[in-house]
């Protein structure tokens, strides 16, 4: 009996969360994309000639983000890769 009540309450909680999130899902996705864009700029800024005080820490993240780099630079309005040694287009 207790398991059914817990399962019902858990399901009710999921439905309530979904109800409130569905109206803001687009705005939340846009904000997440903007944060990702800023993060990509921080990681690749040193290679584009922008001084980055945290370049030592962000340098090790570059190989993980190369796959998403083309999508990012086209979304930022750059037709071609701004990196000299990296061609993605």
pLDDT tens column, 12-62: 999 998 888 888 888 989 999 999 988 888 888 877 778 877 777 777 777
Give the range among 40-44, 53-57, 74-78, 82-86 with minimum mean pLDDT: 82-86
Cα distance between residue 63 and residue 27, in whole Å: 29
- The greatest distance separating any two alpha carbons of the chain, rounded to the nearest whole angstrom, comes to 65
> Residue 85: its pLDDT value, please?
67
Res 10 pLDDT > 90:
yes
Q: What are the residue ranges spanned by the domains of the chain? A: 2-75
């Amino acid at each position: 009996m207790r398991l059914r009540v817990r399962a019902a309450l858990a399901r009710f909680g999921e439905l309530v969360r979904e109800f409130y999130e569905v109206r803001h899902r687009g705005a939340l996705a846009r904000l997440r994309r903007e944060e990702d864009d800023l993060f990509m700029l921080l990681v690749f800024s040193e290679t584009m000639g922008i001084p980055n005080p945290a370049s030592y820490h962000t340098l090790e993240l570059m190989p993980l983000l190369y796959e998403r780099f083309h999508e990012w630079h086209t979304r930022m309005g750059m037709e071609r890769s701004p990196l000299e040694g990296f061609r993605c287009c």
